[in-house]
């Protein structure tokens, strides 16, 4: 059996009131359609085809991948019409699974159940009972509880509107049947659209025993039409991630104030304070403590390291038993070894810092290779940029840099060097020496301070 997943994503998304196509709006940092594509991939179909709308080229450009086929629906004439546009693409397909680009949280396991149901028949539908079914297509059943058709809200009678079981839109169908049914659908309904849902009554007429499957939870089948619904699903998704983290041994100060936008891998006894944001691939080893308002992106943090409040870490590797922050900024391409201390208002970029070194206050370290047991005094700046090019600073082991020092790169401060406070170091310093470049201090006797001129 050749399985094709068809994702409908041609909706205009007017209620988002956005310049961005709806399906590109992010949920947990990833476009809505990206979630659907990822779930589709998880069930390993033979092909994935996406129907996008007029002007939706940014959608294809953003999410292009070798395993995705794109079909444009030039006019938005209904869900049935959208599926028809894709049929010529589905030559080799025997079974079609229809998903929606704006229904991001459908789960792989529900789709597996739906496909299992299709094995026994030619059409399997995903439906759910809702306390408020307003707006959805209703599932009409006969006296024997068999599905007979779907009626859209706008075409329904008073009695049909009372039906709580709704069409999620997600279904799995035999391709040949789908093709023949779609060939017969018409648009003589309240919205003058070609409804995909009309194939249900055709299937019944053809003696097909329609199988029904339900999702595990409502959120799986909830669509995003406006920003309020998007925010609701975001919070739901984040709550789920918080639950999984706690189940795996993480302590969260407040599960409602955590945002994971990517993949967070955690060891044992990790604690995370409020308002932490994790983006991309982040791993936190055993015993890592994350303070409040910390942002970590694509980084690895070693065992028992503490990241204090308001620190921002991106594309970096931090070793074990370190203390970083509060208010530290670790920028891309930085590797920090074990037992390093980085304090407040310290920025480190594209640098390596070896074990037990300390940069505790108000410093900029860029394009630097730093040895171990180095002490960088407050206000030290590596002057790595001459306005045109970047240069490297090399600092050996056991170096002591006095406060308010500028290291003008390219420059090497050899092992064991001491730099006097307030120096501007422009030449390499020999090992185990004291270097300083300070004007001699003078004191002027009887110095008179200027006084304010009297007002006229």
Q: Can you give the binding site for ligand UD1, defined by CB under 6 A?
A: 8-11, 51, 73, 76-79, 81-82, 100-102, 136-137, 150, 152, 166-169, 195-197, 223
DSSP 385: B
Residues 208-237 vs Ca ion: string with x where CB under 5 A?
---------------x--------------
Residues of span 116-175 touching Ca ion by CB under 5 A: none
Spell 205-226 as b/e; 16+ CB within 10 A means b: eeebebbbbbbeeebbbbbbbe
- Residue 347 interacting partner from ligand UD1, Ca ion, none (CB closer than 5 to 8 Å by kind): none
- Residue (56 or 223) nearer to Ca ion, CB: 223
* Minimum separation from the CB atom of position 22 to Ca ion (A): 10
- Residue 429 interacting partner from ligand UD1, Ca ion, none (CB closer than 5 to 8 Å by kind): none
DSSP 39: H
Q: CB-based contacts of 54: which residues, under 8 Å, 6+ apart?
A: 10, 72, 73, 74, 75, 76
* Minimum separation from the CB atom of position 208 to ligand UD1 (A): 18
* Minimum separation from the CB atom of position 225 to Ca ion (A): 6
* Paired residues of 358 in beta bridges: 341, 375
Q: Please give the full DSSP string across 417-431, using - where no structure is assigned.
A: -EE-TT-EE-S-B-T
Classify residue 158 by burial, with Cβ atoms within 10 Å: 0-12, 13-18, 19+.
exposed
Q: Is the Cβ–Cβ distance between 166 and 130 less than 8 Å?
A: yes
Which residue's CB atom is positioned nearest to Ca ion? 223
- Residue (221 or 342) nearer to ligand UD1, CB: 221
- Residue 9 interacting partner from Ca ion, ligand UD1, none (CB closer than 5 to 8 Å by kind): ligand UD1
- Residue 101 interacting partner from ligand UD1, Ca ion, none (CB closer than 5 to 8 Å by kind): ligand UD1
Query: Tokens 């038993």 belong to which residue?
Result: 321
- Residue 79 interacting partner from Ca ion, ligand UD1, none (CB closer than 5 to 8 Å by kind): ligand UD1
Whether residue 361 lies in the annotated active site: yes
* Minimum separation from the CB atom of position 194 to ligand UD1 (A): 8
* Minimum separation from the CB atom of position 100 to Ca ion (A): 8
DSSP 455: P
- Residue (189 or 403) nearer to ligand UD1, CB: 189
* Minimum separation from the CB atom of position 392 to ligand UD1 (A): 52
Which residue's CB atom is positioned nearest to ligand UD1? 137
Classify residue 328 by burial, with Cβ atoms within 10 Å: 0-12, 13-18, 19+.
buried
- Residue 11 interacting partner from ligand UD1, Ca ion, none (CB closer than 5 to 8 Å by kind): ligand UD1
Q: Please give the full DSSP string across 200-249, using - where no structure is assigned.
A: HHHHHHTT---EEE--SSGGGG----SHHHHHHHHHHHHHHHHHHHHHTT
- Residue (133 or 371) nearer to Ca ion, CB: 133
- Residue (53 or 223) nearer to Ca ion, CB: 223
* Minimum separation from the CB atom of position 230 to ligand UD1 (A): 14
Q: Catalytic residue among 2, 54, 341, 361, which?
A: 361
Q: Is the Cβ–Cβ distance between 172 and 118 less than 8 Å?
A: yes
- Residue (56 or 379) nearer to Ca ion, CB: 56
Classify residue 67 by burial, with Cβ atoms within 10 Å: 0-12, 13-18, 19+.
exposed
Residues 168-207 vs Ca ion: string with x where CB under 5 A?
----------------------------------------
Tell me how many degrees the CA angle 168-171-177 measures, rounded to the nearest 5: 140
What ranges in 119-226 are assigned the alpha helix state H?
158-161, 175-182, 199-205
Tell me how many degrees the CA angle 238-242-245 measures, rounded to the nearest 5: 140
- Residue (100 or 278) nearer to ligand UD1, CB: 100
Catalytic center residues: 361
Question: Which residues in this chain contact Ca ion in the complex, by CB under 5 A?
Answer: 223
């Amino acid at each position: 059996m050749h399985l094709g997943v068809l994702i409908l994503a041609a909706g205009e998304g007017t209620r988002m009131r956005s310049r961005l196509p709806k399906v590109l709006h992010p949920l947990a940092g990833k476009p809505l359609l990206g979630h659907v594509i990822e779930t589709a991939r998880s069930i390993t179909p033979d092909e994935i085809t996406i129907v996008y709308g007029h002007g939706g080229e940014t959608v294809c450009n953003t999410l292009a991948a070798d395993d995705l086929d794109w079909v444009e629906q030039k006019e938005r004439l209904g869900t049935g019409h959208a599926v028809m546009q894709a049929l010529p693409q589905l030559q080799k397909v025997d079974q079609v699974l229809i998903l929606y680009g704006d229904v991001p949280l459908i789960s792989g396991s529900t789709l597996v159940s739906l496909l299992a149901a299709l094995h026994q028949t030619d059409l399997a539908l995903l439906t759910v009972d809702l306390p408020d079914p307003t707006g959805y297509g209703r599932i009409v059943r006969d006296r024997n509880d068999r599905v007979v058709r779907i009626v859209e809200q706008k075409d329904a009678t008073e009695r049909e509107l009372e039906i709580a079981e709704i069409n999620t839109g997600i279904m799995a169908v035999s391709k040949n049947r789908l093709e023949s049914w779609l060939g017969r659908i018409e648009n003589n309904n309240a919205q003058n659209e070609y409804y995909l849902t009309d194939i249900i009554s055709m299937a019944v007429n053809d003696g097909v025993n329609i199988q029904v499957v339900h999702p595990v939870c409502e959120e799986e089948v909830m669509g995003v039409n406006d920003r309020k619904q998007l925010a609701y699903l975001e919070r739901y998704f984040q709550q789920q991630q918080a639950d999984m983290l706690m189940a795996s041994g993480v302590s969260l100060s407040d599960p409602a104030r955590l945002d994971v936008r990517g993949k967070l891998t955690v060891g044992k006894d990790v604690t995370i304070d409020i308002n932490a944001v994790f983006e991309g691939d982040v791993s936190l080893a055993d015993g890592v403590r994350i303070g409040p308002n910390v942002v970590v992106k694509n980084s690895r943090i070693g065992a028992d390291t503490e990241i204090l409040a308001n620190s921002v870490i991106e594309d970096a590797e931090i070793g074990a038993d370190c203390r970083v922050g509060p208010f530290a900024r670790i920028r891309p391409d930085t590797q920090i070894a074990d037992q390093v201390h980085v304090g407040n208002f310290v920025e480190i970029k594209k640098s390596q810092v070896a074990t037990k070194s300390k940069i505790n206050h108000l410093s900029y370290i860029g394009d630097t290779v730093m040895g171990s047991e180095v002490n960088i005094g407050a206000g030290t700046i590596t002057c790595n940029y001459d306005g045109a090019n970047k240069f490297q600073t090399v600092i050996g082991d056991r170096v002591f840099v006095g406060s308010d020092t500028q290291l003008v790169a390219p420059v090497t401060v050899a092992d064991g060097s001491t730099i006097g406070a307030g120096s501007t170091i422009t030449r390499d310093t020999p090992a185990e020496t004291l270097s300083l470049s300070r004007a001699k201090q003078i004191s002027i006797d009887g110095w008179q301070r200027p006084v304010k001129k009297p007002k006229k």
